[in-house]
Structure 1
């Protein structure tokens, strides 16, 4: 017997690397040393930093992949993967430098996985970071036919004196919400449970959800906030804290950027909750509390600034094509979110 008879095609793996190499190289920054195929990716620290601090983040896409598998559509989940990582490190004010992915499957399907990599490439380009390398693992018997899993991590950089850690946040500051593109990459176990209980298919359409099918809406990729946020910092908008609204929604993620003696009052009527969340709430008979604790509810990212900077901040992000809302204010408290 040989490895191929055991289910692992080494030659197919080599061909896959060749297939994606040019696409991957299109993401390289000038700090990248060497090319694809080594045991490790080399990246030179950018010039101009006095006390550079590296900030890293890692994540996956979760059960959203189940929908991609069922619809046989793999061109967006790579964007999700990058976004979930780079948006996290962005909250510290870090510029993403490079990204690495891990892709595991039962049997390597080069065309399918090339779509996934293309999505990662798109996410990296939109974030200004290099796809420095990755790993593709063929694991027969571990995944169902046609299925794969992906994970990734990124490394970013920030000047030590410019790290944003929320320590400067004071009572009276305001919270500015940047809209999400939809469900992003959290809460899909509940989404899938609701769809299953209703006996619906992913090509389901209704007036409440507009022209797109349920599957198209659910596979809308996570929004990338890197360029508009970094641009805001470079133009002098004094952001005091930031939060990426992921699993656990606003109640779990927004307090992570607050000092221990501060809270935020959030007005629920200060932004329009997208139709998909209203539809899920109704179809699943989900309480508002559970919706807020599961989904982003249309708020993908939050920045905290002084009240007098609110108009300037909103104008900046709206000019970048992001719907932006003033959703609350900082008060004395115990690092909690108070909805009213």
Structure 2
């Protein structure tokens, strides 16, 4: 019947969904190791755990998204890097507890499923999984007409990792005298973009192709720089060094994230001039007339990861991180915290 209603007429195409899956199958397989039992296409993903590697294993999981950084991808019509951000935001949250990433799943939701765009997104996710050393074993692509603005989509990611129970890093080993090693971020990472977009595109009305001399790239290119994935560096460190605690610096900045791992009797003293702050943060601060306190509580300000370590390991850890192509800085120390004192102090 010519006027009969179909799913396709309602805006959902099963053909496009099938095409998207066929486009990404080969990409996804690049992340598979012997632990992955099947290719994508089943109702679930299967991952076998090596019984020889772990004695008392604990599963560690996290879920996250990319946030309004996606709006920049829409503006630039560039979709092959936000998948790296997606993996990074999830993976970095479990490696700070000493967990090795095992497998990742993604969720892509959009009003109109464009197979070629899905393929670009998955390219980024695959690259992120390769950097993190985890397998992409499944996901979901949802086409929901009228639910999302045409041309836009949302992403969510889910990571599962594993750590020996006795090797969990939770901050309980932090003590007075420990030093703080900050590891450089690759830029804004994936936080603070609601403020960033309001500043650059609503108030300043800067175009994405505006060249930023101090950043040596365009505004759009700077804002789309992928979040750094610290998994391989952290796993290398914890193999040889005792790490008292680690914090992934995301939304809330250093104050909001470092305090999550500090014991009640400890406070962190952060030396503000102890690391290089990338130019983009200075541009934001100056152009938005943003107070220093607001900058530190909204953005990572150039520090994407903080390690809390015994001073006797500091020099060796710094050397190791540099050998791993990271940029480390000694940014502070742990002192005894008296009653009513702040847990994080900038000096």
Q: Structure 2 length as normaliser, TM-score?
A: 0.96
1:15 CA displacement: 1.3
Q: What residue is the counterpart of 1:101 in the other structure?
A: 106
Q: 1:78 aligned to 83, 92, 109, which one?
A: 83
Task: Tell whether the 8 Å contact from 1:20 to 1:117 is kept in structure 2 after alignment.
Answer: yes
Structure 1 CA distance, aligned partners of 2:61 and 2:115? 29
Partner secondary structure for residue 166 of structure 1 = coil
1:207 CA displacement: 2.3
1:209 CA displacement: 2.7
User: 1:276/1:40 Cα in 2 relative to 1: closer, same or farther (>3 Å)?
Assistant: same
Structure 2 CA distance, aligned partners of 1:188 and 1:35? 35
Structure 2 CA distance, aligned partners of 1:29 and 1:317? 27
Structure 2 CA distance, aligned partners of 1:108 and 1:313? 46
Q: What residue is the counterpart of 2:210 in the other structure?
A: 204
Note if 1:35 corresponds to 2:39. yes
Q: Which runs of 5+ in 1 are unaligned?
A: none
Note if 1:267 corresponds to 2:271. yes
Q: What residue is the counterpart of 2:195 in the other structure?
A: 190
1:206 CA displacement: 3.2
Superposed CA RMSD:
0.9
Deviations 1:50-95 (Å, cap 9, x if unpaired)? 1000000000000000000010000110000000000000111000
Q: 1:220 aligned to 219, 222, 225, which one?
A: 225
Q: What residue is the counterpart of 1:339 in the other structure?
A: 346
Deviations 1:299-324 (Å, cap 9, x if unpaired)? 00011110111100111111111111
Structure 2 CA distance, aligned partners of 1:118 and 1:257? 34
Note if 1:293 corresponds to 2:297. yes
Q: Which runs of 5+ in 2 are unaligned?
A: none
Q: 1:282 aligned to 281, 286, 308, which one?
A: 286
Deviations 1:20-54 (Å, cap 9, x if unpaired)? 01110110121111221111111111232110000
Task: Tell whether the 8 Å contact from 1:83 to 1:223 is kept in structure 2 after alignment.
Answer: yes
Structure 2 CA distance, aligned partners of 1:336 and 1:3? 56
Task: Tell whether the 8 Å contact from 1:92 to 1:242 is kept in structure 2 after alignment.
Answer: yes
The number of residues matched between the two structures is 338
Q: What residue is the counterpart of 1:313 in the other structure?
A: 317
1:208 CA displacement: 2.8
Structure 1 CA distance, aligned partners of 2:111 and 2:277? 39
Q: What residue is the counterpart of 2:48 in the other structure?
A: 44
Structure 1 CA distance, aligned partners of 2:322 and 2:336? 29
Q: What residue is the counterpart of 2:156 in the other structure?
A: 151
Structure 1 CA distance, aligned partners of 2:19 and 2:117? 14
Q: What residue is the counterpart of 2:258 in the other structure?
A: 254
Partner secondary structure for residue 146 of structure 1 = coil
Structure 1 CA distance, aligned partners of 2:252 and 2:68? 15
Partner secondary structure for residue 308 of structure 2 = strand
Deviations 1:120-152 (Å, cap 9, x if unpaired)? 000001111000100000000011111110001
Structure 2 CA distance, aligned partners of 1:137 and 1:335? 45
Partner secondary structure for residue 234 of structure 2 = helix
Bigger shift: residues 78-87 or 43-52: 43-52
1:335 CA displacement: 7.0
- Structure 1 runs (4+) deviating above 2 angstroms are 206-210
Structure 2 CA distance, aligned partners of 1:209 and 1:282? 15
Q: 1:129 aligned to 134, 146, 151, which one?
A: 134
